[in-house]
A = this chain, B = another copy of it.
């Protein structure tokens, strides 16, 4: 089956204003003026060009326009990957909000590729700013940031905390974990199992600090209150990992009254692991996740988690970008913290009394 190419379709495909002007039967200059909505044109001329546009589907060459200075504001977004739902949400939100401000977003995904060539590509496209989103190799990013800086291009790092000289917007994970810890303390929990906290490539350190400080504020010692059995397992799929960790805790005979998991998947795995061994959530053990993904609602019991507040984060990002686009590079770097939101659900409750 082929598409029907009927009468109105011109034989020739038009790719430049000269060709287009010839097709319309007007001067190149005149056509250009119509295209740019300049005054002093007869209605009839405008209509003629308009009609020809519809017939031919002609669109001026963006590359030539760019050279003439008619370029939309553009931002290059460098994503580490797009396998992680909260990251994809941020990307979608950023893209949408920038479009509302007439900023074009170029998206590139590193994921096994060469981030250096991506940055070069953005630079060759003369983007007005570069955004990094995801968990990168810190040295690599720091190096890119230096390159961008000497190039005069503003940059922004979302959610990767602690890169030197980086404009950063960062979810205050410490604060989120402190809120979570306080919630559990309020329920009488005193012994906590940490699930997945020996990870190094994620921003685990900040999270641990939050737990530590919340415990200290109530007079508890982190070392005495928490347990970690991560070393017993190779990190695999999060869900299976959480399940195996729960089993290990049960077998260790030192089962805490609450599990604090690195993310929702591990938490859900742990809930399964507990259930398989006849333990109830939150009756026997309370369980918490992180990220507040949709699946938190799909488990029984539903999962207490910490929300990343994607929209708030991206609002701040967009404001930052708009402020810096087209401006000379500031020498001061800015670091903005976003406060996460604790979402309490059914998986957390009063600590079981021994």
Task: Please state if A5 and B149 are interface contacts (CB–CB under 8 Å).
Answer: yes
Task: Please state if A268 and B2 are interface contacts (CB–CB under 8 Å).
Answer: no
Task: Please state if A61 and B124 are interface contacts (CB–CB under 8 Å).
Answer: yes
**C-alpha spacing A151/B237, complex, angstroms:** 47
Which segment, of A101-109, A248-256, A342-350, faces chain B? A101-109
Which of B56, B59, B67, B113 is close to A99, meaning CB atoms less than 8 Å apart? B113
**C-alpha spacing A295/B9, complex, angstroms:** 49
Q: Give the chain B neighbours of A5 by CB distance below 8 A.
A: 149-150, 331
Q: Give the chain B neighbours of A111 by CB distance below 8 A.
A: 92, 96
- Please give the distance in Å from A65's CB to the nearest CB on chain B: 7
Q: Give the chain B neighbours of A63 by CB distance below 8 A.
A: 62-64, 66-67, 125-126
Query: How many residues in A have their beta carbons less than 8 Å from beta carbons of B?
Result: 71
- Please give the distance in Å from A74's CB to the nearest CB on chain B: 11
Is A164 in contact with chain B by the CB < 8 A criterion?
yes
- A127-155 contacts to B (CB < 8 Å): 145-152
Which of B83, B99, B333 is close to A1, meaning CB atoms less than 8 Å apart? B333
Is A203 in contact with chain B by the CB < 8 A criterion?
no
Which of B95, B147, B275 is close to A57, meaning CB atoms less than 8 Å apart? B147
Which of B82, B125, B332 is close to A92, meaning CB atoms less than 8 Å apart? B82
Q: Give the chain B neighbours of A95 by CB distance below 8 A.
A: 109
- A1-52 contacts to B (CB < 8 Å): 1-5, 9-10, 13, 15
Is A193 in contact with chain B by the CB < 8 A criterion?
no
Is A120 in contact with chain B by the CB < 8 A criterion?
yes
Task: Please state if A150 and B56 are interface contacts (CB–CB under 8 Å).
Answer: yes
- Please give the distance in Å from A15's CB to the nearest CB on chain B: 8
Task: Please state if A92 and B96 are interface contacts (CB–CB under 8 Å).
Answer: no
Task: Please state if A81 and B92 are interface contacts (CB–CB under 8 Å).
Answer: yes
Which of B57, B88, B124, B331 is close to A82, meaning CB atoms less than 8 Å apart? B88
Q: Give the chain B neighbours of A240 by CB distance below 8 A.
A: 297
Q: Can you list 6 A-B pairs with a CB-CB distance of less than 8 A?
A: A3-B149, A61-B124, A62-B63, A62-B124, A82-B92, A265-B294
User: Assuming A61-B124, A63-B64, what are 15 further A-B pairs, CB within 8 angstroms?
Assistant: A1-B332, A2-B165, A3-B146, A3-B165, A4-B165, A13-B150, A57-B148, A62-B63, A62-B121, A62-B124, A63-B66, A83-B89, A88-B88, A99-B113, A268-B298
Task: Point out residues on A near B: beta carbons under 8 Å.
Answer: 1-5, 9-10, 13, 15, 56-57, 59-67, 81-83, 85, 88-89, 91-92, 95-96, 99, 104, 106-107, 109, 111-113, 120-121, 123-126, 145-152, 164-165, 237, 239-240, 265, 268-269, 272, 275, 294-295, 297-300, 331-333
